[in-house]
Amino acid sequence: MFGELQEITDRLAADLNRSVFVEDSWFRPLATSAQLGAIDAPRVQAILRREPVQEHVRYFHECGVTRCREPFRVPANPNLDLLARLVIPVLAGDRLLARVWLIDAEPPIDDDMTLVRNAVSDMRVVLLRQQESVRQRVAMAGRWLEEVESAGASDRQAVFRRMQDSFGTADLDALRACILQIEPASAGSRAVGTAADTSPVPSGYLDSLFQHVEMRGCVGVIRGSTVLALVSDDHRTGAVARLVTAARQVAVPHGVAVTAAGFGGVLGDADGLPTSIRQAEFAARIAARVPAMDGSACWDSLGEYRMFYAYEWGPAGVAAIDPGVAALLEQGRTPFAETVLAYLERHGDVSATAAALNVHRTTLYYRLGQATRILGEELTGDARFRIHAALRFAHLSCL
């Protein structure tokens, strides 16, 4: 398929006697002609790296490249060593399929765009056919994944093997479940020409994700406001990190945002799938609540947060860990819970706690005394650990 795109690119370059560069909507090269006429260092870098240089991408955003729906001239930027460019979007309705780039240097590009328009029309046909192939493959992979999930314990192994044969899915001891939490992006971040989708996750998001990440054997399915996927845990290629980065990049043109990504433990065998999915859901929930995790977490590295895995999120779960903390969280008593958590997080350092809460030490002692009375026990020994854990869980549960 991309051989056809390369042929069109080479033909256009020969007709124009200048280099032609075709990128996807994320500024990654899809096809590039031989180097004809003027070129600049940024173009060479993009070809060699197969990834755009971010400072160049920022400049293109500032110039309005992502919003253009007609041929658009990008001014030169000597600070970035960029020559002037002409960018021509390849569109299917409002959907951006690719961008064609021409260096607008000596000799300048003629105003007659007939050759370019004809080439863009041919590219559109090829890219639409390629995207339809991706869509069908992703849809089929999703059906296989749903079949594996719904299969009984006696059949799951056989169904999983058939999915592996069909899609080259990795071995079971190298697969993890992944959960991506998706929310609509703010109106200001929605790409121009991208229509809002009535579903929580746009139907084309998964197609774009797997096309962008180019990971062989990926399977996934949209579930309401989340995406469930199986990914290979290949640390040598950084597959997990690449998936998170790609998921966030792909979200932008679809008008959504990835608020959290969670990865379960490795499956081990087909019957490990349900457990890995639950672990991934839990990891995503923790990642969404703990700023230090930057929106991404893996079950293997959750540490002390794994102790909350079996508890129901909410008052009932807090009460199961420590009933006294549940009482502390009742209406009108939340300052006491906040105070005790701040105190325990600072290992009982009164000065540091008072400073963090911006209260006088006398006020702090009063609150701790009232909290101890409600809790029914002192903040020492085993009770200290249990109370601290329950308060941490309450914080995660937004209570």
The pair of structure tokens assigned to 61 is 């955003």
| pLDDT for position 235 | 54
Sole residue written with tokens 């679809």: 254
Q: 203 exposed, middle or buried (CB, 10 Å; 0-12, 13-18, 19+)?
A: middle
Residue 117 clears pLDDT 50, i.e. is over it: yes
Examine the pLDDT at 76 and tell me if it is beyond 70: yes
How far is it, in rounded angstroms, from Cα 89 to Cα 110?
18
Q: State mean pLDDT over 128-134.
A: 88
Tens digit of pLDDT for each residue in 173-193?
A: 778 899 999 998 864 444 433
Take residue 95 and report the two structure tokens written for it.
């959907």
What residues form DSSP beta bridges with 266?
A: 176
Containing H/E element for 387? Answer: helix 381-396
Q: Going edge to edge, which strands form the sheet with 85-92?
A: 29-32, 21-23, 95-103, 85-92, 72-74
Domains of the chain: 2-128 (3.30.450.40), 151-308 (3.30.70), 315-396 (1.10.10.2840)
pLDDT above 70 (res 150): yes
What letter would DSSP give residue 236? Answer: T
Rounded to the nearest integer, the mean pLDDT of the chain is 86
Q: Is pLDDT at 397 greater than 80 in this prediction? A: yes
Residue 101 has pLDDT above 90, yes or no: yes
Amino acid at 22: V
Residue with tokens 């490990």: 272
What is the rounded CA–CA span in Å between residue 6 and residue 31?
Answer: 5
Q: What is the percentage of the chain residues whose pLDDT exceeds 90?
A: 47
- pLDDT for position 187: 42
Backbone angles phi, psi at 192, to 5 degrees: -65, 135
CA pair distance 20, 8, nearest whole angstrom: 10
